[in-house]
């Protein structure tokens, strides 16, 4: 992609970010995440405890290192006070924990559908099904990350500089954890390759956010003990910016995949006067399409021309093609719409 194409895509992402009010959605997700965080983490610890008691300590250590010591210690107190309760010792308790955790993923599912402007009906059954898949994938990805971290810890003394690869392993773990979310939640047809930009951005964004957040915590608290209220505020702050990063990844995928602004644009935006509107016969239409083909850079020996067209119409980014066929009283009506951005 050319420099102008990158700039055009960046402008489209910025416009889509503002239009979809991503910061408001991130705030809603942060609240739902905070309310659902304890059930989600208790379920995670309960699931990993099946592999051994030491796994619970590994999860707590991973949370402490990758969120912040303040938040990690706060969550550790919650685990110690509730992990042995009746909610985790019965089948009903497990169901309650899973349901609380799924509330978070249902909120993310709704936000992704809003960003993609999905027209498909997204029932609560679909949301729960997608949430279960993402929840299981998240548990597996975290388990794999813990195993990889433990292996690196064992091999650190035997293999020099192997610790330098640990951030890459953690980033790969985040990619594996986020991929099902970005693939299932949009509720539109997307390919695995199409969702990779947002997944990689979210993984790297979380890694950078974690580092910045720890610096912020160390500066704001002075390295001392903090109260429960301070811990809650810090946790909400981290959840909010984490939600912004996740949803910005969804916006990137929606724009680069051609799913942004597909529905509702003509209903919400006022129509402007067209620069050119006329009825063409077949020969005139073929001539116009020939000139349009020149603008796309496929000349076939012809000299480029913009005769009859408003300025330089050469696309600077992706071109959206919409085809509609309607059956009317006079026969079938065909409509083809091409929309793109140009340099001029």
pLDDT at 247 (0 to 100): 92
Q: What is the mean pLDDT of the segment spanning 127-153?
A: 71
pLDDT tens profile 65-123: 655 555 566 556 655 655 555 444 445 556 666 666 677 777 788 888 888 887 766 67
| Three-class DSSP category at 331 | strand
Per residue in 165-215, pLDDT (tens digit) is 777 777 788 888 889 889 888 888 888 899 999 999 998 888 788 777 777
Q: Is the pTM of this model over 0.85?
A: no
More confident residue, 153 or 158: 158
Answer yes or no: is pLDDT of 22 > 60.
Answer: yes
pLDDT at 94: 60
80 phi and psi, to 5 degrees? -65, -30
Query: Is a pLDDT exceeding 70 seen at residue 314?
Result: no
What per-residue confidence (pLDDT) applies to 41? 61
Span 213-229, average pLDDT: 67
pLDDT class of 251 with cuts at 50, 70, 90? very high
232/85 Cα distance (integer angstroms): 22
How far apart are the C-alpha atoms of 175 and 177, rounded to whole Å? Answer: 5
Question: Quick check: 230 and 273 in contact, CB under 8 A?
Answer: no
Angstrom distance (rounded) from CA 62 to CA 110: 29
Residues 36 and 103 sit within 8 Å (Cβ to Cβ): yes
pLDDT-based confidence at residue 266 (cuts at 50, 70, 90): very low
């Amino acid at each position: 992609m050319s420099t102008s194409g990158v700039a055009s895509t960046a402008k489209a992402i910025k416009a889509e970010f503002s239009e979809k009010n991503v910061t408001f959605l991130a705030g809603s997700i942060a609240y739902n995440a905070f309310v659902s965080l304890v059930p989600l983490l208790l379920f995670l610890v309960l699931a990993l405890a099946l592999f051994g008691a030491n796994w619970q300590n590994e999860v707590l250590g991973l949370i402490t290192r990758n969120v912040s010591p303040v938040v990690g210690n706060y969550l550790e107190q919650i685990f110690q006070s509730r992990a042995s309760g009746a909610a985790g010792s019965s089948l009903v308790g497990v169901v309650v924990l899973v349901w609380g955790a799924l509330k978070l993923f249902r909120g993310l599912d709704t936000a992704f559908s809003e960003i993609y402007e999905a027209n498909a009906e997204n029932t609560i059954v679909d949301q729960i099904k997608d949430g279960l898949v993402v929840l299981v994938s998240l548990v597996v990805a975290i388990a794999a990350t813990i195993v990889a971290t433990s292996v690196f810890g064992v091999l650190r003394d035997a293999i020099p500089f192997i610790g330098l690869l640990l951030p890459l392993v953690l980033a790969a773990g985040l990619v594996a954890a986020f991929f099902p979310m970005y693939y299932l939640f949009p509720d539109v047809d997307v390919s695995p390759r199409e969702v990779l930009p947002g997944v990689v951005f979210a993984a790297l964004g979380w890694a950078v956010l974690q580092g910045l957040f720890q610096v912020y915590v160390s500066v704001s608290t002075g390295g001392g003990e903090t109260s429960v209220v301070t811990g809650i505020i810090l946790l909400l702050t981290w959840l909010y910016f984490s939600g912004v990063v996740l949803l910005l990844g969804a916006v990137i995928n929606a724009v680069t995949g051609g799913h942004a602004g597909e529905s509702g644009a003509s209903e919400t935006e006022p129509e402007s006067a067209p620069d050119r509107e006329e009825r063409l016969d077949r020969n005139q239409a073929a001539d116009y399409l020939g000139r349009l083909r020149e603008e796309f850079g496929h000349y076939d020996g012809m000299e480029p021309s913009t005769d009859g067209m408003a300025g330089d119409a050469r696309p600077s980014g992706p071109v959206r093609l919409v085809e509609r066929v309607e059956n009317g009283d006079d026969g079938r009506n065909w409509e083809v719409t091409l929309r793109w951005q140009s340099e001029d």
